[in-house]
Amino acid sequence: MGMTMIEKILARASGADRVQVGEIVFASPHRVLSHDNSAAILGIFEKMGGEKVWDPDRIFIALDHAVPPPDAKKATNHQMIRSFVAKQNIANFYDCGVGICHQVLPEYGHVVPGAVIFGSDSHTTTHGALGAAGIPIGRTEAASVWALGETWLKVPSTLKIELEGEMKEGVFPKDLILYIIGQITAEGATYKSVEFHGPVVRAMSIGGRMTLCNMGAEMGAKAAMVPVDESTKAWLDGIGAGEYEVLDPDPDADYEQVISIDCSSVSPQVARPHKVDNVVPVGDVGDVAIDVALLGTCTNGRFEDLEQAAAVLDGKKIAKGVRLLVYPASCKVLDEAYEKGIARVLLGAGAQIAVPACGPCLGAYGGVLAPGETCVSTANRNFKGRMGCKDETGIYLASPATVAASAIAGKIVANR
Amino acid sequence: MELNGRMWILDDDDINTDVIYPGKYTYELFSPEEMAKHAMEDFDPTFAEKVREGDIIIAGRNFGCGSSREQAVSCMKYAGVSAIIAPSFARLYYRNSINQALYVIECAEASRYAREGKKELQHKEARIDLKKGLIAFGGREFDFTPMSGKALEIFEAGGLAPYTKKRLESVKG
């Protein structure tokens, strides 16, 4: 019997020829990712009796969750992290403004096919877009990996999702993944690894694949991956990634479940409050007036997302009373948006462009909601209170095009 | 080892980390006492003042879905919760619980029975035998698979931090 991607990757990372589903292995990561929570992690590391980190070249830290820091406490956290980074000679540190960890990690060549990436952030699944295993872990685990260079994992079974047909014009990867989550539910892939196959994912950009894998976290997945193809290799060449060995799934790999999705029938989708699997076509959402439209985050803050929104907003103005917040995923994204005139289109329509960071997605700062407000967002979660206030607020998740069209209309609508 | 405590029966499936421990607190370095005060804040704002040492949560499917934030586990532990029973847990919540030495139990039958009889059973006593894998309340017993292997080793060490500390010390030996 052949092996799935996660089985091959975990076998290599644990120094075994093969692994079995359900087996416990100790895997050593190519990178361990953290962000502002590094302040907490370094405290745990020191409490554990850690002195020197196991490998300063394999630790990756990007400050993104409270950037620029909105208060002295969060600024102090950043200060603690900077001094730890200096003391430990951590090579891969990206300070405030470089971008969101899940964008910066691949942009700077830290993700290669076949790698194990542990991340102290639930959206670490994003890195499966490049054929790696991005596996989310907790803070204490991150501290333990800093100290020991490994952690234990149960080898998961794999859910194979075949994306058949062709996406209709005006339908984006975000619509597709919301549709899938609506079908298989928020726990449809719990404890499992997900592999996306089929002509639709083959034709999809790396950014689109990142959106799919990012949202894998919202179906409970341990990892979500796309097998490597020519697009992956071209993207990696483009950023000058080093050597890597591709670990493809075997044709006779043992999948726990195979689901086939006919993408030709998928229309623009929206996830209604307060669950990510509460999904309907945008046309069925009814009359929902909005106060905030959020474009960006690790799910949809890449150049192509800004470009798709700009195509809708070009020459138009957002509705009176609506705030359109743009959080590019990285400084490189923002730079390209300036270079190619996209930033001007967004500003011309009435958008506010922020420093590349997580922003109000997690409700800590930078555009949180007031009681009674409604937001349409390209982010990944619509839990009650997620954007900083739980009192009669509602978050609707959608694609950049839907968010842009809704900002113009002042209510949730699909782009026509 | 045996746990005894009052039950908090929560009807909902998919109780997420944002309602257990709101995002606005995740980048504050709070003391355990402060964390405990915010436990379940956006789910039930009265929970933190009413919960008592040893209490047991019984909830619906996919408990703890959402963020990797470990405080969604620590706040429960610091608030006095001794165990959480659900038909299923989000993967990260399950791992974080083991790493924080909070006992989590997958048992669909106990969850269903408790939720169906919520009116009579709410805040009544339950007993959990961790060795035998037995939950008892309302005159009924339910089996579960006790924690074993690496997970049990970490749990018995008091969590991953003390476990790693021991391993580091043995290396330095």
Could you give the percent of chain A with pLDDT greater than 90? 99
The domain made up of B2-145 is a member of CATH 3.20.19.10:
yes
Domain boundary among A219, A239, A261: A261
Q: Same domain, yes or no, for A255 and A275? A: no
Q: Same domain, yes or no, for A318 and A393? A: yes
Q: Same domain, yes or no, for A313 and A217? A: no
Output phi, psi for B31, to 5 deg. -75, 160
Least confident of A14-28, A162-176, A224-238, A278-292: A14-28
- Structurally, how many domains does chain A consist of? 2
For residues A239 and A109, the answer to whether their CB atoms sit within 8 Å is yes
pLDDT digits 0-9 by tens, A262-305: 999 999 999 999 999 999 999 999 999 999 999 999 999 999 99
Residue A349 is assigned to a structural domain of this protein: yes
Residue A150 is assigned to a structural domain of this protein: yes
User: Is some CB atom of chain B closer than 8 A to the CB atom of A273?
Assistant: no
pLDDT at A1: 85
Q: What is the 3-state secondary structure (H, E, C) of A122-169?
A: HHHHHHHHHCCEEEECCHHHHHHHHHHCCEEEECCCEEEEEEECCCCC
Report the C-alpha gap between A78 and A139 in whole angstroms: 16
Least confident of A125-129, A225-229, B167-171: B167-171
Q: Same domain, yes or no, for A48 and A105? A: yes
Mutate to test the interface with B, among A102, A122, A275, A361 (most CBs of B within 10 A): A122
Q: Same domain, yes or no, for A159 and A301? A: no
Q: What is the ipTM of this complex?
A: 0.89
pLDDT at B27: 81
Residue A174: pLDDT over 80: yes
Give B172's pLDDT tier (boundaries 50, 70, 90).
Answer: confident
Residue B56: pLDDT over 70: yes
Cβ distance of A140 and B26 shorter than 8 Å: no
Q: Same domain, yes or no, for A257 and A274? A: no
For residues A178 and A397, the answer to whether their CB atoms sit within 8 Å is yes
Among A129, A340, A344, smallest CA distance to A326 is for A344
For residues A178 and A54, the answer to whether their CB atoms sit within 8 Å is no
The residue type of B68 is S
Q: Same domain, yes or no, for A337 and A232? A: no
Domain boundary among A220, A244, A261: A261
Report the C-alpha gap between A394 and A381 in whole angstroms: 11
Residues of B in contact with A24 (CB under 8 A): 149-150
Residue A173 is assigned to a structural domain of this protein: yes
User: Is some CB atom of chain B closer than 8 A to the CB atom of A126?
Assistant: no
SS3 B9: strand
Residue with tokens 């890597």: A244
Kindly give, in sequence order, each residue whose CB lies less than 8 Å from that of residue A284, ignoring residues fewer than 6 positions away: none
Mean pLDDT of A226-238: 98
pLDDT digits 0-9 by tens, A306-340: 999 999 999 999 999 999 999 999 999 999 999 99
List the 276-335 stretch of A: residues with Cβ below 8 A of B: none
Mean pLDDT of A26-38: 97
Q: Same domain, yes or no, for A243 and A282? A: no
Cβ distance of A187 and B167 shorter than 8 Å: no
Q: Same domain, yes or no, for A148 and A173? A: yes
Residue A147 is assigned to a structural domain of this protein: yes
Q: What is the CATH number of the domain that holds A350?
A: 3.30.499.10
Domain boundary among A232, A261, A290: A261
Residues of A in contact with B100 (CB under 8 A): 140
Domain ranges of chain B: 2-145
Q: What is the domain range of residue A376?
A: 270-409
pLDDT at B90: 95
pLDDT digits 0-9 by tens, A356-404: 999 999 998 999 999 999 999 999 999 999 999 999 999 999 999 999 9
Report the mean per-residue pLDDT for chain B.
95
Q: Which of A36, A138, A141 sits opposite B27 (nearest CB)?
A: A36
Residue A416 is assigned to a structural domain of this protein: no
Q: Same domain, yes or no, for A61 and A209? A: yes
Q: Same domain, yes or no, for A180 and A321? A: no
Residue A414 is assigned to a structural domain of this protein: no
pLDDT at B173: 63
pLDDT digits 0-9 by tens, B97-156: 999 999 999 999 999 999 999 999 999 999 999 999 999 999 999 999 998 888 899 999
**Which token pair is A217?**
């976290």
Among B86, B42, B84, B90, smallest CA distance to B68 is for B90
Q: Sheet containing A257-262: which strands, arranged edge to edge? A: A223-225, A193-197, A158-164, A257-262
Q: Same domain, yes or no, for A174 and A53? A: yes
CA distance B104 to chain A (A): 15
Residue A308 is assigned to a structural domain of this protein: yes
Mean pLDDT of A127-150: 97
pLDDT at A416: 83
Q: How many residues are present in chain B?
A: 173
